Structure 1
Amino acid sequence: MAKILVVDDENNIIKTISSILQDEDHIVYSSRTGEETLEFLRINDVDLAILDVWLPDVDGIDLLERIKSLYQDVSVIMISGHGSIDIAVKSTKLGAYDFIQKPLAMERVITSVNNALEHMRLRKENIKLRKESSMEDEMVGSSPKIVEIREVIDTAAKTNARVFITGDSGTGKELVARAIYHRSKRSDRPFVKVNCAAIPNELIESELFGHEKGAFTGAINRRIGKFEIANKGTMFLDEVCDMSASAQSKVLRVLQENQFERVGGNETITVDVRVIAATNVDVKKAVEEGTFREDLYYRLNVIPIHMPTLSERMEDFPRLVNYFLDRFSGEHGIGLKQIDEAGMKELSRHSWPGNVRELKNVIERLSIMVPGEIIGREDIRKHLDAYDYDDIVAKDISSLKKAREEFEKDFIVKMLKKNDGNVTVAAKELGIERTNLHRKIKQYNINIDKI
């Protein structure tokens, strides 16, 4: 739900747009002049303004420029019954998200509003990330491998070249991707992450490229894909080797031509997206086994970065431990704690199969559970014994399966809600047998009576 201001001097236009957006659960306000609009924005918070080019007291283009200079967080969509390419181009250059010609088509308005709000949400999220403490974005340590990675990050950030990050789970691949993004010229544009392993194969193409209304069963509206949302920004394809063969082929085309079509569509869409990919599998082995395209690998692997395991950078271990102790002291409002020499030796003897992520979890546990200021060997033994690392690794691997299951459960619940709990109709729209849907309802403990 968003707060949207409709600016037009025609009552029927205001009523039409308000009706459409209220049906989408948005809060809609209206104004009829430029002066009224600026006064409203001065007092009220608004997420989006839909602004007519022709107003009785001011040129809509001039009002757009004023709004964007005063209220950068307000997204603007321009509308006009007498539009031209010149006006549309000028509007876009001044910061308008979109330009729609009258008469207004309901689906066009809904799609544009949803895209503008999503774009603004990502922009605000990226600004928030940049304003937050740089702790998450820093590569802690001074070992030769980390120093080298920092240098590659700085080099990569100055370009638009694609980057392929490899390494075991928990080594910090996403940390590197975000560090490159924050240091790049695209840092004021969207950073869109897609976990390819968490999305079912039959939905990955729709997620990446979007789909048209009616493209498949259940596609009741046009949906904009992640590549379109990431236009002018950065796309992080995590666990890229888990992508289906068909999706790999389409991604390859985007990398080669910067173009694609939505699922079920004929319109060719051109985008400018910087792609950073990551995987924890042996890519060359995946290529040899035919599960990952060799040509896609070479397209992605322009700047390779391999993340070392924690055991390969143990000279950073004391610094990492103290970093996490300091961090969790602040996060949890507890006194700063220290680990004595015997405790550090005990920690350093562990193999750390979960790498830095595992170390982070253990230090957080120790910071909270040990009452004194000094954490000793016996404290560490006690909590390491209680911490099943094989179970942690298993959970890390199984989390991909869990994410898929959660995605499928949510999708089924939404379809059941749409059809008032009618399993037969929902199964038909999902494209599966009714008995299969009943089995999944039971598997996910979905209560039909509460839908």
Structure 2
Amino acid sequence: MERRARVHGRQSMKILIIDDEAPIRDVLSASLRDEGYAVQTAEDGERGLAALREFQPEIAFLDIWMPGSYDGIEVLTKAREQFPATEFVMISGHGTIETAVKATKLGAWDFIEKPLSMDKIIIVIQNIRQYMQEKEEKSALLNKLRRSIALIGEAPSIVQVKQLIARVAPTPSWILMTGEAGTGKELAAQNIHYMSPRASRPFVDLNCAAIPEDLLEGEIFGIEKGALPGLEKTKKGKLDLAQGGTLYLSDISEMNPTVQGKLLRYLQEKKYQRVGGTEWIANEVRVIAASSKDLEKEVQAGHFRQDLHDRLNVVPFRVPALRERPEDIPVLVSHFSDQFSRESGMPKKVFSEIALSGMREYAWPGNVRELKNFIERVYILTPGEYVDLHDLHFAGLDGGAETAAMNEDLGTFREARAQFEKEYLVKKIQENNGNISKTAETIGLERSYLHRKIKAYGIEVP
């Protein structure tokens, strides 16, 4: 076996050598230990399987022809099922192309012929290391992405949605989501995709209501070159782009009958034709459809195909309105507050209990999307780091919040707070000799906001 200069600085990896020839085991193990790897050896297939269980190596070099109960191919067949985290490199002094192909089909990383070249051995190890690092990085990014799109809340209705996501994500089933606009249907669809075996494949979304009726077919299925004036090359559709992944179709109720029929055929046959094309294109994509309208009523009214509805509705899926889970509003406010503070660089604001109470009572017709936009507006329009009920009104929340405050019967507290605020402002204005700009800067308020406070409290400025 050829020797090579030792390369320093490698992170230790565990390597197992399974070979019935003692000289091969001894020389290869010594060379790999010189390279800084942790190495164990086994002299036959049975001992090799035992060593795989106990040592749990990242890489195993496995001789194909060995005496005893199991040869290398049999060990590989058993080991790929039991030890999926280990990569296997087959070695042989008299292998054939057929044997190498068989080993590769069974999941071997590579096939190396004897006499072994240490340079080639090291290159194979480096390639496996790089693959494992990339796999770990990809897994870490995927976990980070999953955390970033996690559904927020612990109300029974949203917990039920999370449980349903966990059940349907591993399956290939089509899904029909219903729920009011802004409830988070697309976020739920993303959770399903990124918790599924398709997570490494594309998630492609299309709002059917945002595309003109005569262009929707081409957006979904693509357009063949020359099918339209000036189209000199084939335009890929969303199904092309989502190959192997998930296509999320929102507002599917707005899809015209022609496209409905073509989508139904795709779901039935897993193939389609581009606009202007004659070739059938086979494609495997999971379709998740969503609608803010009641599709059963749309079917009854003749606006939506019954057979397409039934085909999509394999797993009925309803995302609750925010008003159905008001107990989640404080945690959603905290989440969106953290998010906007981080993105904008602004200090995080503290929302008073009365402000949170007001938001719990508000109906939120735009649901979670409206709440998120409102929190951003509060950050932009509200001075200081403390947000109270009047700040919500100033930011545009309607009378629902005021009603909530009255329901909480906190009038005495509000009066005491107002009196304190007035006395505080009077004192600060006096300290700054009536200079409103300087006072506003000192106490961290915008000058226009301070002027409104002065007017509201009837404060006389010297």
| Distance in 2 between residues matched to 1:310 and 1:269, nearest whole Å | 41
1:143/1:315 contact within 8 Å kept: yes
Code of the residue aligned with 2:376 in structure 1: it is: E
Give the whole-Å Cα distance in 1 for the aligned partners of 2:287 and 2:346: 40
Q: Which residue of 1 aligns with 2:212?
A: 200
Contact 1:161-1:303 within 8 A present in 2 as well: yes
How far apart are the structure 1 equivalents of 2:140 and 2:251? 25
Equivalent residues of 1:136, 1:175 under 8 A apart: no
Call closer, same or farther: CA 1:140–1:258 in 2, change over 3 Å: same
Q: Secondary structure of 1:336's match?
A: coil
**Corresponding position of 1:303:** 315
Distance 2:141 2:263 in 1: 27
SS at match of 2:219: helix
Alignment partner, residue 305 of structure 2: 293
Measured in 1, the distance between the counterparts of 2:155 and 2:285 equals: 33
1:376 to 2:388 alignment = yes
What is the total number of aligned residue pairs between the two structures?
A: 266
Name the residue aligned to 1:249.
261
Shift of 1:131: 6.8
Cα offset, 1:168, TM superposition? 0.6
Q: Name the residue aligned to 2:368.
A: 356
Structure 1 unaligned regions, length at least 5: 1-89, 94-125, 388-451
Bigger Cα displacement from structure 2, 310-319 vs 172-181? 310-319
The AA in structure 1 aligned to 2:318 is: H
Give, in whole Å, the separation in 1 of the partners of 2:320 and 2:230.
44
Aligned residue identity for 1:212: E
2:279 equivalent to 1:267: yes
Give the aligned partner of residue 151 of structure 1. Answer: 163
1:238-267 CA distances to partner (integer Å, 9 max, x unpaired)? 111111110100000000000111111111
Instruction: Quote the offset at 1:288 in angstroms.
Output: 0.7
Structure 2: how far apart are the matches of 1:333 and 1:216? 48
Please list, as runs of the form range in 1=range in 2, the aligned pairs for 1:59-208 lying within 5 A after superposition. 130=142, 134=146, 136-208=148-220
Question: Does the 8 A contact of 1:328 with 1:364 survive in 2?
Answer: yes
Aligned equivalents of 1:312, 1:351: Cα separation in 2: 9
**Deviation sequence 1:265-293 (CA, Å, 0-9, x none):** 11111111111111111101110111111
Superposition deviation, residue 133 in structure 1: 5.4
The CA deviation at 1:304 is 1.3
Distance 1:203 1:278 in 2: 19
| Alpha-carbon separation, structure 2, partners of 1:333 and 1:358 | 22
User: What is the Cα deviation at residue 222 of structure 1?
Assistant: 1.7
Task: Answer yes or no: is the 8 Å Cα contact 2:248–2:287 preserved in 1.
Answer: yes
Q: Aligned to 2:325, what secondary structure does the other structure show?
A: helix
Once the two structures are superposed, what CA deviation does each residue of 1:321-348 show, in whole Å capped at 9, x if it has no partner?
1221222221111222111122122222
Contact residue 346 and residue 381 of structure 1 kept, 8 A: no
- SS of 1:263's equivalent in the other structure is coil
Q: Does 1:224 align with 2:236?
A: yes
- The aligned counterpart of 1:345 is 357
> Which of 334, 349, 367 is the equivalent residue of 2:346?
334
8 Å contact from structure 1 (residues 215, 263) kept in 2: yes
In structure 2, how many angstroms separate the alpha carbons of the residues matched to 1:376 and 1:277? 40
Please state how far the C-alpha of 1:210 moved relative to its aligned partner: 1.3
Distance 1:134 1:145 in 2: 20
Which structure has more relative contact order (CA 8 Å, sep 6+)? It is 1
| AA aligned opposite 2:275 | V
C-alpha distance in structure 1 between counterparts of 2:139 and 2:201, whole Å: 9
8 Å CA contact 1:310, 1:352 repeated in 2: yes
Distance 2:199 2:178 in 1: 23
Counterpart residue number, 2:407 = none
Higher mean alpha-carbon deviation, 193-202 vs 376-385, is at 376-385
What does residue range 13-52 of structure 1 map to in structure 2 within 5 Å? none
Does structure 2 conserve the Cα–Cα contact (< 8 Å) formed by 1:162 and 1:302? yes
Offset at residue 229 of structure 1 (A): 2.0
CA distance 1:174–1:305, change in 2 (3 Å): same
- Verify the 8 A CA contact 1:193 1:235 in the aligned structure 2: yes
CA deviation after TM superposition for structure 1 residue 156, in Å: 0.9
- State the one-letter code of the partner of 2:270: N
Q: Among the aligned pairs, what percent are the same residue? A: 43
Find the residue that maps to 2:309 and give its secondary structure: helix
Structure 2's unaligned 5+ residue stretches are: 1-103, 108-137, 400-462
Q: Tell me the C-alpha RMSD between the 2 structures.
A: 2.5
Q: Is the 8 A contact 2:329 2:356 kept in 1?
A: no
Aligned match of 1:43: none
SS at match of 1:222: coil
Please identify, of 189-198 and 249-258, the stretch whose mean Cα deviation from structure 2 is larger. 189-198
Cα offset for 1:180?
0.3
Q: Distance in 1 between matches of 2:372 and 2:202?
A: 28
Against the structure 1 CA distance between its residues 215 and 261, is the aligned structure 2 distance closer, same or farther, given a 3 Å change threshold? Answer: same
Q: Deviations over 1:355-394 (max 9, x none)?
A: 111111111111232222211111111112599xxxxxxx
The residue type equivalent to 1:196 in the other structure is C
**Alpha-carbon offset, residue 220 of structure 1:** 2.8
What residue number does 2:67 align with? none
Equivalent position SS for 1:384: coil
**Larger CA Rg, structure 1 vs 2:** 2
One-letter code aligned to 2:212: P
Amino acid at match of 1:380: L
Question: 3-state DSSP class of the match of 2:205?
Answer: strand
Give the whole-Å Cα distance in 2 for the aligned partners of 1:385 and 1:138. Answer: 27
Q: Which residue of 1 aligns with 2:34?
A: none
Once residues 337 and 367 of structure 2 are traced to their aligned partners in structure 1, the CA distance between those partners, rounded to angstroms, is 17
| Residue identity opposite 1:249 in structure 2 | G
